[in-house]
Structure 1
Amino acid sequence: MRKESPIYYDQNIGACNVFLYEDVKRVLSDKETFSSRTQKPQSSLSKTLINQDPPKHTQVRSIINRSFTPRVMKAWEPRIQAIADELLQRMDGKEKIDIYKDLAHPLPIIVISELLGVPSEHIDQFKAWSDILVSSPKSSDKEDMKEFLATRAKTEKELAEFFQGIIAEKREKLGDDLISILIQAEEEGLKISEEELIPFCNLLLVAGNETTTNLLTNTFFTIMEHEGVYDELKNDLSLIPSMIEETLRYRSPVQVLRRRVAQETTLGGQHLQKDDIVVVWLGSANRDENKFEDASIFDIRRKPNPHVAFGHGIHFCLGAPLARMEATIAMTAFIKKYSSVSFSEEFTLDPIENSAVYGLRSFPVNVTN
């Protein structure tokens, strides 16, 4: 598509698809022309950061950024290390483990739960809700769509009720968690209402664990399918951060983002009308041969690596430092513990059923101490 139809209008979904790196970057950078407000008003995500434009986005993000500064992230490092070590300890004595179930799934959900200040007993329910929110309909069949929308609406209602209870508790006794910070927030006269806070908590729940879970499964899958890479990393742990950046480029956890055309424009020679929907393919941009030399090759030493896996512009993922830290800590601890890892004979490709995100839902492997 990058060569033959870099800007492609799909009549079936009524959207313009963008595949080249520079075009994707322009859409994500030009906030005046391409608006983030694509959701219908009734959607639970319509009031979250990802669907807001300035000045509201700027005000809210400035408050939330307080919880994602380098100093705050550094303070979380020992706790994330302890969680990763505990999860790996549970694998002691096993020759077969499941990367998804034993590590990639629990680590990020525990971290984001603690960051939000949610009691640990709710973690399993949290993950179940999150999985539903990133799922897709089984098919375009009318009944399947009806069932999907009903399940999603039920999940959003349950989450809203859950967070209402948590927010009420925090109002009585504030902590140093993210929800408490948002409740207290007031900057230049701005207060975040509960109506805005609940959808944002939903977003943090999903984005805060799904992206990292998928990054971890994608990382393991990629280094295992490339012979010798695991041994390379074992011999030089300092390569792990650049390997993670290359995985983000090579197998981006989030594949697409949407924008709405705010004013008539031209993109890549294609005329776009006001209110047209634009779908930018991050995974394609990250494989663009015009931007990345040998783009189809997985190179753990690739530098520079200006991928757009975490987006670009004002909506660059604020949790990117957290995801990178979790992945680095988890991979380092795992590689130190196991001399080798290989695909289990039970392994079959079990991808997430959602074209917008990229990852696995099960990942059985053999390990050697």
Structure 2
Amino acid sequence: MTTTLADNWGVHEAQFWLRGKQPEKRVEFSEKSGMWNVYGHQEALRILADPATFSSDFLRVVPEGTFPDQDKDALSAGNLIQLDPPMHTKLRKLVSHAFTPKVVADLEPRIAKVTTELLDAVGGAGRLELVEDLAYPLPVIVIAELLGIPASDRALFKGWVDKLLDNDDEFSLKEPTEKQQKRLKDTMEVRQHLIDYITGHADERRSRPREDLLTKLIEAEVDGESLSPVQVANFANLLLVAGHITTTMLLGNTMLCLDAHPGEWEKARADRSTVPSVIEESLRFLSPFAAVARVTNTEADFGGTVIPPDQMIMVWVAAANRDERTFTNPDTFVATRDPNPHLAFGRGVHFCLGAPLARLEGRVALNLLLDRYPALRSDPDARPEFQPSPNMTGVRKLPLLAG
């Protein structure tokens, strides 16, 4: 399957782990990008668990002017993935109540209802495009309702997010190419559309508060001070975008894994208690977010390979999830793999806040697909289309035959 995925379905050439290859070195410096790459599981785990040494404030080492017409402080304000403790801890607490096990569990009937409605809309045509018909709208509707923004605007979000993700460049800290500069300029323009959209709804909440996350962000205080409009917009933007991309790719990737392993598909249909394990193995096998960035605050020694301070590190969690030192037969999809210490949702203080919700959405949707479509399979005449980014692994189109 890995050869088919990587070579026949257009997975980015940088994702060597999908081609059955182990890295020559677990930690290495890239002259091309000016960054360090970390591919090993134990090395990645160490970095993710130590925010004091490995900071999330990676923008501080990005050269000035890299992001056209953007203040780096404004880009990171309120953005959880770019903040370190204690500010990260304080901001995370503001919304953590919305993702507690009980709150998430209580969402199951709503998730099931939305999934059923979306599948009903497909009708009996005998085919569906999984991303367009289910994997994209389901998590967008759920996170939009939590935030308090119109889920009916999801086509608008999709247009913006698709443009954000439509990037096959490998980012470099070296002298930027004309292509990279244009790409970053386009990205900042699209991002501003999202920020302006959320800011408009936030402004409305200041005069007409509701029982939603956006209102809670506006009313919240950290150290006795309210969040600035920029912090609110960045925070809400992260929740909206990250809150659906992971689940969208999780659902598509899981279906792709099961389609390529029909025996596992039949086992899951016969024994639904295995569905959570299937999802976890999908997350390991095709990790949606392939990499996360960190910056060294101090010198870090990895078995004699020394990374100096103020160096950007790309932690390739997707490669770490194929580390043969941690996972037996890492290039084999084993639906009942146990233990399965994958890093698809990160680890430590930055462990994905929405992981329980993504897992629930995946479980509910997969069970309903199993119920409704006994012969669901890929369309041999319409191959899947993957995200072009080297930092992401997920289908953006997955045509399926339902009859």
Aligned to 2:318: 283
1:196-211 alignment to 2 at 5 Å?
A: 196-211=231-246
Match 1:38 to one of 58, 62, 66: 58
Aligned to 1:232: 267
Identity %: 36
1:230–1:67 CA distance, 2 compared to 1 (3 A): same
Deviation at 1:87, TM superposition (A): 0.8
Pair 1:193 & 2:223 matched: no
Task: Give yes or no for contact 1:45–1:203 (8 Å, CA) kept in 2.
Answer: no
Distance in 2, Cα, partners of 1:2 & 1:365? 32
Aligned AA (2:119): L
Distance in 2, Cα, partners of 1:290 & 1:345? 36
Aligned to 2:18: none
Aligned AA (1:335): L
Deviation at 1:143, TM superposition (A): 4.6
Aligned to 1:177: 212
Task: Give yes or no for contact 2:295–2:313 (8 Å, CA) kept in 1.
Answer: yes
1:104-154 Cα deviation digits (max 9, x unpaired):
111111111111111133111012112222332568994533432232222
Match 1:131 to one of 141, 158, 162: 162
Deviation at 1:346, TM superposition (A): 2.6
1:70-85 alignment to 2 at 5 Å?
A: 70-85=101-116
Aligned to 2:328: 293
Distance in 2, Cα, partners of 1:193 & 1:250? 40
Deviating more after overlay: 358-367 vs 186-195: 186-195
1:303–1:276 CA distance, 2 compared to 1 (3 A): same
Pair 1:119 & 2:150 matched: yes
Aligned to 1:27: 47
Aligned AA (2:141): I
Deviation at 1:7, TM superposition (A): 0.9
1:98–1:320 CA distance, 2 compared to 1 (3 A): same
1:297-316 alignment to 2 at 5 Å?
A: 297-316=332-351
1:270-307 Cα deviation digits (max 9, x unpaired):
11111111111111111112112222221111122111
Aligned to 1:150: 185
Distance in 2, Cα, partners of 1:43 & 1:90? 44
Aligned to 1:4: 24
Aligned to 2:385: 350
Aligned to 2:95: 64
Deviation at 1:2, TM superposition (A): 4.2
Distance in 2, Cα, partners of 1:32 & 1:187? 21
Aligned AA (1:26): R
Deviation at 1:186, TM superposition (A): 2.4
Distance in 2, Cα, partners of 1:120 & 1:205? 11
SS in 2 for 1:93: coil
SS in 2 for 1:361: strand
Deviation at 1:190, TM superposition (A): 4.5
Task: Give yes or no for contact 1:256–1:283 (8 Å, CA) kept in 2.
Answer: yes
Distance in 2, Cα, partners of 1:224 & 1:111? 26
Task: Give yes or no for contact 1:28–1:313 (8 Å, CA) kept in 2.
Answer: yes
Distance in 2, Cα, partners of 1:11 & 1:362? 34
1:211–1:239 CA distance, 2 compared to 1 (3 A): same
Aligned to 1:14: 34
> Cα RMSD between the aligned structures?
1.8
Deviation at 1:214, TM superposition (A): 0.5
Aligned to 1:220: 255
1:85–1:68 CA distance, 2 compared to 1 (3 A): same
| TM-score (norm. length: structure 1) | 0.95
Distance in 2, Cα, partners of 1:268 & 1:128? 45
Q: How many residues align?
A: 368
Deviation at 1:6, TM superposition (A): 1.1
Distance in 1, Cα, partners of 2:55 & 2:169? 29
SS in 2 for 1:90: helix
Distance in 2, Cα, partners of 1:330 & 1:121? 20
1:188–1:153 CA distance, 2 compared to 1 (3 A): closer
Deviation at 1:230, TM superposition (A): 1.5
1:347–1:42 CA distance, 2 compared to 1 (3 A): same
Aligned AA (1:260): V
Distance in 2, Cα, partners of 1:148 & 1:64? 32
Structure 1 stretches of at least 4 aligned residues deviating more than 4 Å after TM superposition:
137-143
Deviation at 1:211, TM superposition (A): 0.7
Aligned AA (2:216): I
Task: Give yes or no for contact 2:23–2:39 (8 Å, CA) kept in 1.
Answer: no
Structure 1 gaps, min length 5: none
Aligned to 1:109: 140
Distance in 2, Cα, partners of 1:311 & 1:343? 30
SS in 1 for 2:295: strand
Structure 2 gaps, min length 5: 1-20, 63-70
Pair 1:324 & 2:359 matched: yes
Distance in 2, Cα, partners of 1:357 & 1:43? 25
Aligned to 1:250: 285
Deviation at 1:249, TM superposition (A): 0.8
1:23-48 Cα deviation digits (max 9, x unpaired):
00001111111000002552764220
Deviation at 1:156, TM superposition (A): 2.0
